[in-house]
Amino acid sequence: MKTKAAILREIGKPLVIEEVQIPELQPGQVLVKILYSGICRSQLNEIKGLKGEDKYLPHALGHEAGGIVKEIGPGVSHVKPGDHAVLSWIEGLGMDVPSTTYLKGNEIINAGAITTFSEYSVISENRITPITKKMPLDKATLLGCALPTGGGIILNQIKPMKGSSLAVIGVGGLGLSSILIADLMNCAPIIAIDINDKKLQLARRLGATETINSATVDFASAILDITHGKGVDYAVETAGLTETIEKSFASVKWDIWNGGLVVIAGNPPHNEKISIDPFYLKGKRITGSWGGLTKPERDIPFYVDLYLAGKLKLDELITDHFKFDEINQAFQAMDKGELVGKAILEFCKSEV
Ligand SMILES: [Zn+2]
């Protein structure tokens, strides 16, 4: 059986959509019909070669999707054919198969435990979480990366009390997801920072109470003004720039007993270093994040229930739709800063 897949063949060049042979399923692998996939800045960085040397070319990409399980390999026990599922790069229950390979003639096309820029994908069991069929799969796609990383930082790492103040630096899909969950947990104020006014308007619709355009003002000073000189209890940094990370550290509350916490979710370019004054670590804290400490089997059904109860604004978070064969236009739009919320790739549904 063959599938169309978008392949990265050369750094800095558009992805090439081509037909590749789907391999026989190994123990722990699952064949999934992809219906929708998200696109992330991390893939844009991969395409542009910002993640360092790429030893796996040519390779498939993509790490958040909604799809339907078609076939299961030996030993797979957590999903079955017909299941609707969220596909995520974050490891959950089941067997772990770190890589797979597709064939184009005799040429090997590499793929990781999960890739989603293809009509059918062979995916490791532990990257697949079955969900109720009541959940629309386009919205479910956001539960594969944006919500678990951005929302998980709030839900699993920060665990704010009602009324905690929070700044979110950079309001792409991840930052907007942090705002959605912070709003549900009654944080206030919720301050959104970005250089794009359209993104800031969307952040307000999703729960931000204040917005700062950091292209025109220094956001650290603006946050101190909003919080009457104290700084915020929490800052979620998603812009991934050394400067914004350092300013985030300046924006949180300095208190020996109950200092502010910065969670760095952005990925600065390979090998870049931040500079902070360690004196302020007497009180302030700074940490990283890996997938918002999400356990997919616990958190994805929680987000599904919130959505189905009308409490999670995933519809508003999706602002752009592209067909699968428009994937390069989608990444160009992301690169130019033209995407406001999350963009979703739609695949052919004829065989579903
Ligand atoms: Zn992602």
5 Cα to the center of ligand 1, angstroms: 18
pLDDT tier for residue 108 given thresholds of 50, 70 and 90: very high
Q: How far is the CA of 230 from the centre of ligand 1 (A)?
A: 33
Provide the phi-psi class of 65: left if phi over 0, else alpha when psi is between -120 and 50, else beta: beta
CB 213 within 8 A of CB 224: no
Q: How far is the CA of 224 from the centre of ligand 1 (A)?
A: 31
**Cα-to-centroid distance, 273 and ligand 1 (Å):** 23
Residue pLDDT, tens place only, 73-82? 999 999 999 9
Mean pLDDT for 82-91 is 98
Which residues does 50 contact at the CB level (< 8 Å), separation at least 6?
Answer: 269, 270
- Mind listing the pLDDT tens digit for each residue in 291-302? 999 999 999 999
- What percent of the chain has pLDDT above 70? 99
Q: How far is the CA of 314 from the centre of ligand 1 (A)?
A: 16
Span from the CA of 227 to the centroid of ligand 1 (angstroms): 32
The alpha carbon of 45 and the centre of ligand 1 are apart by a number of angstroms equal to 11
Q: Ligand 1 center to residue 191 CA distance, Å?
A: 23
CA distance 317 to 173: 8
**Cα–Cα nearest to 64, from 134, 131, 139, 13:** 139
Look up the pTM and report it. Answer: 0.95
d(CA 173, CA 165): 20
Interval between CA 63 and ligand 1 midpoint (Å): 6
Summarize pLDDT for 15-47 with one digit per residue, the tens. Answer: 999 999 999 999 999 999 999 999 998 899 999
pLDDT score of 50 more than 90: no
Instruction: Give the pLDDT score at 351.
Output: 66
Give the chain's radius of gyration (CA, Å): 20
Tell me the CA–centroid distance for residue 342 and ligand 1, in Å.
10
**Cβ neighbours of residue 300 under 8 Å, at least 6 residues apart?**
86, 88, 129, 131, 143, 148
